[in-house]
A and B are shown apart, each in its own frame.
Chain A
Amino acid sequence: MPELSPRLPCPVCLGVTMGRVAVGPGGVLRVDHCGRCGGAWLEHGEVQRLRAMPAAELWKRLEKREHRFRMRCHDCHGSLDRADAKCPACGWSNTLECPACARPMRTESHAGLRLDVCGACRGVWFDHHELRAIWEAGFDGALQGRALRLAGSPGELRSGPGEVLLDTLFHAPDLAFHGVRAAAHAASHVPDLVAVAPEVATGLFEVVGEAAVSVFEVIASIIGGIFEGF
């Protein structure tokens, strides 16, 4: 059965379409991977599914690269490291557009890594060195640490960068999503506040209006004084 879903553009390289790499036993997970820069796009939920697999499964299908890829600045086209926050030549802010929804992604920096997270579709972009740093070194350890913590053995916990990333980055979009939901839920249960809102708004408008009149009169009187001087 051929792959019918559209292939996404690489947000780093621009002009290159990512390939879909089947990862895991039977190719259960399809990861969007750029053959040029080596980065990978993981859609919402794919990070968790990839977490459930041993690190070796990922590297069976992806080629490890020793040299760190240098991207081209999207503005001045100069050579740029992905870890740079801004282009040293033109000052372009090194933020990518989401390959799925084309919205600007936000960057999350932890333990020397700089991941790009889409707040809208909740996908995460991993540069190749970030993939290696997380899935090669600390990821299995982080998983073991989490398992031990759940089993009630805090003395055996490991608190490496992988653990920190798991706890903060991977769940950050979910937390934000649930936070917004909770706020909306709380707002729906305070009808009293909504009822007094027009009164508060009217009072505030009057106060602002009076302040504006005072400021304008002071300025007009100052200018009037200048005119009188002539």
Chain B
Amino acid sequence: MGKPLAAAGLAALGLFMLLGFLGSGAALAAPATLAALALTVGLPAVGAALLVRSHHAERARLVGRRAQLRSQTMDAEILRLAGERGGRLTAVEVATELAVTPEAAKDALDALCVRGHAEIEVSDAGLLVYGFYDVRHLGGKSSARGVLDA
């Protein structure tokens, strides 16, 4: 909220000084008038424009960061769901459990496959099933040993 307010203040200052210039009847050709105009009108206007631009860039960055967090939370929820369903999920299960569209569920599962967290399996009926190897073998983690002992 600070930047838009500061931009509005600078824009108001620039307008105020522009009003002063228009009412003064000063000759535009005079170097002193041009310099005064640049200093009192141009500079605040440029400052206001830069502040507005910076504010929008910040907002766009935050929107992107929120989208990234959404995706990460959804991945975590899919892995939790996989743990509850024996390490195998279908896109329909994810869609119904997380209340997202089947397309969004499939995209999220495919992204997990690409990153190596899941692998695609096909059932006898031709159903695409996403298997989570790590989740399926969590029960055996108590038998873990040092890498050199394995």
Contact = CB atoms under 8 A, between A and B. Distances in A.
A167 to B, nearest CB: 28
Contacts of B23: 209-210, 212-213, 216
Contact of A74 (B17, B33, B40, B62): B62
Interface of A: 7, 13-17, 36, 72, 74-77, 92, 208-217, 219-221, 223-224, 226-227
Given A216-B24, A217-B20, A220-B33, A15 B40 contact: no
A81 B72 CA distance: 19
26 contacts: A7-B99, A13-B73, A14-B66, A15-B72, A15-B74, A15-B77, A17-B98, A72-B73, A208-B16, A208-B19, A209-B20, A212-B17, A212-B19, A213-B23, A213-B24, A215-B16, A215-B17, A216-B17, A216-B20, A216-B36, A217-B20, A217-B26, A219-B36, A220-B32, A221-B32, A227-B31
B120 interface: no
Nearest to B33: A220
Contacts, number: 87
A216 B21 contact: yes
B68 interface: yes
A227 B32 CA distance: 7
Contact of B77 (A36, A92, A210, A211): A36
A105 to B, nearest CB: 14
A213 B16 CA distance: 9
Given A212-B19, A215-B17, A220-B33, A74 B65 contact: yes
Nearest to B69: A14
Closest 3 CB pairs of A and B: A216-B20, A15-B73, A212-B20
A111 B72 CA distance: 34
B100 interface: yes
B71 A213 contact: no
